[in-house]
Amino acid sequence: MTSIPKRVPIPRKGIDYRGKIVLAPMVRSGELPSRLIALQYGADLVWGPETVDRSMIGTTRRVNESLSTIDFTRLPSHGSKNPSEGQRESLIYRLHPEREGRKLIFQMGTSDPERAVQAARIVAADVAGIDVNAGCPKPFSTSGGMGAALLQTPEKLCSILEALVKEIVPEFEIGISVKIRLLETPEMTAALVRQLCATGITGLTIHCRTTPMRPREAAIREQLRMIADICRENGVACLMNGDVTDRTQAEALIKEFGVDGAMIATAAETNSSCFRAEGVLPWKEVTEQYIKTAMEVENRFGNTKYLLGHLIPGKVAAYKAVCGSRNYEQVCQALQLEHLQEQAREADIKLNLTAETMQGGRRGRKNKSALAAGGNPGKSRALEVESKKSLSERGSQAQAQAQAQVPLTV
**Residues involved in catalysis:** 136
Q: How far, CA to CA in Å, does 31 sit from each of 268, 353, 368?
A: 13, 20, 10
- Evaluated on CA atoms 342, 344, 348, 354, the torsion sign reads negative
DSSP calls for 89-132: PEEEEEE-TTTTGGGEEEEEE-S-HHHHHHHHHHHGGGSSEEEE
DSSP calls for 163-232: HHHHHHHHHH--EEEEEEEE-SSHHHHHHHHHHHHTTT-SEEEEEEEETT--TTSPP--TTHHHHHHHHH
311 contacts: CB under 8 Å, gap ≥ 6 = 269, 270, 271, 272, 283, 286, 287, 290
Rg (CA), the chain: 21
Kind of pairing between the strands at 129-134 and 237-241: unpaired
Cα 151 to Cα 131: distance, rounded to the nearest angstrom:
15
